[in-house]
Structure 1
């Protein structure tokens, strides 16, 4: 199993106290009157409960000799998404379903570079989680995680999307969703959901400072990125992704106004990989990408959407903005490494 960035510890304590004085003397037990129904909850709580009821039957436990994690059914014929680090190098894993059954799962393929694996179990009309659109996420919107932390099956936690397009130093992954919904060991491979119960990410890692056990930053692989792996594995049996060779961050109107830039949206090139297609085409650090072919680029999500529809070898016409003005470059896409 891939460990979290810092080793963490957890303690579970359960306490129960019952008063036997006033409640019994009055002929009624206060805790007996505290039965909660969905109607007694506020709108936010009702939303989390409804998402849990809808999606938890599709959340599974994935086990192999080296450890365990979570997964989520995304097709009625038994296709499951999880993390590559959950399955490791195994070709078969044990999958525990919400209905109590334990079945064997076949590992159809994996892409360690984005920590995604695709499994299949035998079955028909299985419960599935609907798929959302991670390219349209906004920081601040609701995020709900369901998984099996510390072996506690189908645990739900909630929070918000804290940021998008994050990179974890030292992990070699970028474009991640950051969330404050609690994610712990065992949550890996489980779904991160929006307020309508749609999968927006696959939980993959938690970052915690030394000595902290309760506060952490959770990260998930965007579902659009993961779903691209699913489609390739199911159709061709292998994963091929185009490669530009840049890291980037979004330009927002506030930063554009602060630095008096002539555009308000786009993608700023943070780094260019030496020898990459971007470097060979002449893309430079601090270039602002505003258009690819006929598609305006206002954010990293736009860039990822364009690349998902292209193949290695395709040539892109990339418009970049520099202090001297706009220029157009031609980038021939390479093949992304898979490990």
Structure 2
């Protein structure tokens, strides 16, 4: 309710969302992240481990998989290799790489709890469920196997489990971007 004696309310402030991303093509400057982090963004910035802060262009988004492909203009990048489709098994050890609570990059360890899972708010029912510990800020981060290959992109956490869009969702972004 508006009170004319109190004046006008403060205008809404811009919200800043923070999450993680994964460089998936060093030469082209391609980064994959969670779509929900950038879906309504007017500006997207990529903060690299070496301290560089770069503007990122959104190339393609998938609401179904909750992943998005970004491009930055930068040299001297290192990318994760994408694992082959179908190379993941329940019980396999995995690492989650993210930026929980804006503390800086961190890695947690766990196992693949289930494959082909669904999660409220994400249409893809082919998610990878793991028991890696992830916190706010890890969304969009990498889920990798012990060989260091990308097997998924973290998109949600529910009930102590992390859910990741599988590497096939990343490949679909590459196809859509062409």
Q: TM-score, normalised on structure 2?
A: 0.86
Change (3 A) 1:148 1:207: same
Mapping 1:188-337, distance limit 5 Å: 188-208=139-159, 216-233=160-177, 235=178
Aligned equivalents of 2:85, 2:119: Cα separation in 1: 18
Aligned equivalents of 2:29, 2:92: Cα separation in 1: 30
Is the Cα–Cα contact under 8 Å of residues 60 and 176 in structure 2 kept in the other structure? no
Change (3 A) 1:78 1:91: farther
Change (3 A) 1:173 1:81: same
Aligned equivalents of 1:107, 1:225: Cα separation in 2: 16
Which residue pairs with 2:58 in the alignment? 107
Aligned equivalents of 2:36, 2:144: Cα separation in 1: 21
Which residue pairs with 1:120 in the alignment? 71
Which residue pairs with 2:18 in the alignment? 68
Write out per-residue CA displacement over residues 40-60 of structure 1, whole angstroms, 9 at most, x where no aligned residue.
xxxxxxxxxxxxxxxxxxxxx
Mapping 1:135-146, distance limit 5 Å: 135-146=86-97
Q: What SS does the corresponding residue of 1:137 show, helix, strand or coil? A: coil
Residue 184 of structure 1 pairs with residue 128 of structure 2: no
Higher RCO (CA < 8 A, seq sep 6+): 2
Mapping 1:22-41, distance limit 5 Å: none
Q: TM-score, normalised on structure 1?
A: 0.46
CA RMSD of aligned residues (A): 1.6
Aligned equivalents of 1:224, 1:170: Cα separation in 2: 19
Give 1 or 2 for the bigger CA radius of gyration.
1
Q: CA deviation at 1:170?
A: 5.3
Aligned equivalents of 1:169, 1:118: Cα separation in 2: 22
Change (3 A) 1:170 1:86: closer
Q: Give unpaired runs (5+ residues) of structure 1.
A: 1-63, 209-215, 236-339
Q: CA deviation at 1:169?
A: 4.3
Aligned equivalents of 1:175, 1:186: Cα separation in 2: 23
Q: CA deviation at 1:140?
A: 0.6
Q: What SS does the corresponding residue of 1:150 show, helix, strand or coil? A: helix
Aligned equivalents of 1:172, 1:152: Cα separation in 2: 30
Q: CA deviation at 1:89?
A: 2.1
Higher helix share: 1
Which residue pairs with 1:173 in the alignment? 124
Find the partner of 2:32 among 81, 84, 94.
Answer: 81
Higher strand share: 2
Q: What SS does the corresponding residue of 1:92 show, helix, strand or coil? A: coil
Is the Cα–Cα contact under 8 Å of residues 31 and 70 in structure 2 kept in the other structure? yes
Is the Cα–Cα contact under 8 Å of residues 104 and 121 in structure 1 kept in the other structure? yes
Which residue pairs with 1:259 in the alignment? none
Aligned equivalents of 1:202, 1:135: Cα separation in 2: 16
